[in-house]
A and B are shown apart, each in its own frame.
Chain A
């Protein structure tokens, strides 16, 4: 059994501490927003998880490019790991957004440009798993997956820019948004601390999970190879 590297073990512990600290900053340290009340605190994890989701989708696209250039399966494992983690975090971001929207917009969901592009992005990457499962040949699976993540990564800047380019009710907290947006607020100093800390904490958590997932992918590859050796 392969031993876990000490650096990864330390990163696991640091990630847990950062998650706890980020929860403290979001739930206790940051002041309650005057108009929305406590539900605004969902914003800290909502943005942080969405950021991590987008980061992973971009990382998967980059890994796809490197795989296509090098044909090294290591990059296929990295790409798959990035998509899997990002899918989970992006899903959390969508759920948190929906929970925030219920008391603020009086609906769980609306087909606003940001919500629609986010849902499409999530569906694109769910389809990525279906595509991979449908292909038996590992080389073909890796090649198709790489091209798919490369094309899929286009949905990330579209989702990010949706609230800045289109008429939308989704608020833009940093920068100028649509005047029709509902639920916007300006961040106080303590809110900014909680917000940037959450971004930092989730970036570290992402790196930790990414490393763990890549190790899992390598082990999976090793087991597959052993199975092939025995069957021959």
Chain B
């Protein structure tokens, strides 16, 4: 009786939206980690330079 069964509804739009949103949110988070890491590294370098200058004086 399989041939009498209704085909599943077309809900692919929701599926695509779901996966796009999931990847978008994950991407934003990973990008935020990379940006914060870079900024902190720059801060660290700058502060270390300042400290060495202070020690020289």
Contact = CB atoms under 8 A, between A and B. Distances in A.
Given A222-B44, A230-B50, 14 more contacts: A32-B8, A37-B10, A38-B15, A39-B14, A92-B21, A95-B22, A96-B22, A100-B18, A209-B30, A215-B37, A219-B37, A219-B40, A223-B44, A223-B47
Interface residues of A, number: 40
Interface of B, secondary structure class, is helix
Interface stretch (A41-49, A59-67, A135-143): A41-49
Contacts, number: 98
Interface string A214-232: 0110011011001101100
A91 interface: yes
Interface size class of chain B, counting residues whose CB lies under 8 Å from the partner chain? 20 to 34
A223 B50 CA distance: 12
Contacts of B22: 45, 49, 92, 95-96
A35 interface: yes
A226 to B, nearest CB: 4
A122 to B, nearest CB: 13
A92 B44 contact: no
Interface of A: 1, 23, 27, 32-42, 45-46, 49, 85, 88, 91-92, 95-96, 99-100, 102-103, 209, 212-213, 215-216, 219-220, 222-223, 226-227, 229-230
